[in-house]
Amino acid sequence: EEAEERLVSSINETINNGGKVLIPVPAVGRAQEILLVLNEYIAQKKLAEVPIYIEGMLTEATSIHLLYPEFLNKEIRDRIIFQGENPFITERYTIVSHPREREEVFRSGPSIVLATSGMLEGGPSVAYFSELAEDERNKIIFVSYQVSGTLGRRVLDGSKEINIVEQTGKLRVVNVRSKVEKIDGFSGHSDYNQLLSYVSKFRNRVQKIIVVHGEESKARSFSDSINRMIFRRQIADIPKVGETVKLS
């Protein structure tokens, strides 16, 4: 709820200042979550009702969610099965199905854009970024993790000049004047405390823990916490790239 309220507050701030909001989203999971949040807060009149444009693979991914409602939570499942409703994409949303339709977005007043990919690594989100980032009234809001080395991470880290290769092959320098914000709390993963709690349940039943899939500094910190706080001995380790770990 805190993450949702921060997101809505941030969007309202930009809309009230006459700007546009770009939310780069991963196509599966995060996109559908943000769609639901925007719908809910607009219905509660807590979020300014402005045009919302969506483009990219999130529309196809959302269709797959609708085909398999039995895997969704009860509230969403019932709305799909018993009310015949699409809880994700409502009449509030405009699906941009061709690049030439983006001109309507750029010409219009305050609006919200959801586009893939979530790290600005290809997809329509890059095209929207290149057009919206140079206006100081606009805002780029990241709701997902930005991997080191991606365009999204460079923007989040404060780069003010971004080189983008356009579809024509021409190199364009984007001067980032828009506001940039990261809203934490929409992660699809458990956080540090949740992971420690999970590991603690196996205190007396594991011989070794291998920490993978994370930035080196974060993985090292988490591994140290496991050893120091839970097992009080060296049980967790981080294998090097290419290292073989024998499981006995």
**pLDDT string in tens for the chain (248-residue length):** 899 999 999 999 999 999 999 999 999 989 999 999 999 999 999 999 999 999 999 999 999 999 999 999 899 999 999 998 899 999 889 999 998 999 989 998 999 999 999 999 989 999 999 999 999 999 999 999 898 889 999 999 999 999 988 777 788 899 999 999 999 888 767 888 889 999 998 877 888 899 988 888 889 999 999 999 888 888 888 998 889 988 87
**Inter-residue contact 182 to 139 (CB < 8 Å):** no
**Inter-residue contact 141 to 183 (CB < 8 Å):** yes
Residue 44: burial class (beta carbons within 10 Å; 0-12, 13-18, 19+): exposed
Task: Give the start-end residues of each E strand in 87-239.
Answer: 93-95, 112-115, 139-142, 161-165, 171-175, 179-182, 209-210, 236-237
Instruction: Give the amino acid at 58.
Output: L
pTM: predicted TM-score of the whole model, two decimal places: 0.80
